[in-house]
Structure 1
Amino acid sequence: MTDLKLLALDTEDLEVISAHVQDAVLRVSDMGYARGDRRFALLMNRFDWESGKSRRDKGVRKRTALHFDAVQSVVTNGFDPAAPEGVLELLAITFKSIDGPAGIVELSFAGGGTVRLGVECLEARLSDLGAAWAAAAKPAHSLD
């Protein structure tokens, strides 16, 4: 199993990262903003969709780090950022350009929670950290 190392500098690159982290789970305490470094980072347990291609295979989860640089602001909504043991399920990451390279990165979570990052430009890096284990279940979504 190959560890992922991805860089996103535009919306197409970010769509690739978003696809790889769909259904990742994380604790609220595993994400944070380093204002001095202008970096927002999170650690998650992502479902490796490439490993769970067959219907009977439950696949694996991998410990993964993702960070965004050139972050100017962070706004959370729909969950309590002061509840460190809270668990979130990441559904998608999108970018909306506002003024040239600047824009808003939005992390959307199950249940309607969001994290919006005001960024000078889009720069995201994803890295698997090597740890992998059998998933308890393969994520499934209702089509309703």
Structure 2
Amino acid sequence: MELLKLAALDADDLAVISAHLQDAVLRAGDLAYLPRERRFALVARRFDWTAPDGAPPRRRLTGLHFDRVMAVRCRGIPRETPDAAMELLAITFEPGEAPSGTATLVFAGGGAIRLELECIEAGMRDLGPVWGAESRPVHPIPLDAA
């Protein structure tokens, strides 16, 4: 079993991490902001988009962290319900005065977490366990997008 380990130091690197975490599921209790360490971290169950062709769909336990976090703002995140399930759709980055900017974790249902960053310094690492997924995530394409 090969474990994926990625680092992000710029917006392009962060886009790669976002692609690997698309459709990851997590619980609200899997999120942590550590202001003294200026770190935001989460543990998710990511869909393994790199599984070999013909292999059954699977998920992996994965950790993600951002360092040099100056502030965190949440919208639509059920923090009072730690077992609430959430689906991560994407991580975006909006540059500010270089090298700072804002990373946004976008969740299904309209939830979002905005991280004000001194600079991009993030890492994603598979933590080991792999298990079969019930199905492959599907994203219907709207008719007006063609």
TM interval, short-chain normalised: over 0.9
**Runs of 4 or more above 4 Å deviation:** none
What is the distance in 2 between the residues matched to 1:80 and 1:44?
Answer: 16
Q: TM-score, normalised by structure 2?
A: 0.93
- Residue 113 of structure 2 corresponds to residue 115 of structure 1: yes
Match of 2:78 among 77, 80, 90: 80
Q: 1:70 aligns to what?
A: 68
Match of 2:92 in 1: 94
Q: Which amino acid aligns with 1:111?
A: G
**Which segments of 5 or more consecutive residues in structure 1 lack a partner in the other structure?**
none
Residue 61 (structure 1) aligns with? 59
Q: Report the secondary structure of 2:77's partner residue.
A: coil
Q: Percent identity?
A: 49
> How many residues end up aligned between the 2 structures?
142
1: distance between equivalents of 2:30 and 2:52? 25
Cα deviation digits, residues 63-113 of structure 1 (max 9, x gap): 000000000111010232221111110000011111111110000001111
Structure 2: unaligned runs, 5 residues or longer: none
Residue type of the alignment partner of 1:38: R
Q: CA deviation at 1:142?
A: 1.4
Letter in 2 for 1:7: A
Q: CA RMSD in A?
A: 1.1
- Give per-residue Cα distances to partners, 1:2-21, cap 9 Å, x unaligned: 11100000011011100000
Aligned to 1:9: 9
How many Å separate the matches in 2 of 1:99 and 1:81?
Answer: 31
CA distance in 2, matches of 1:134, 1:31: 24
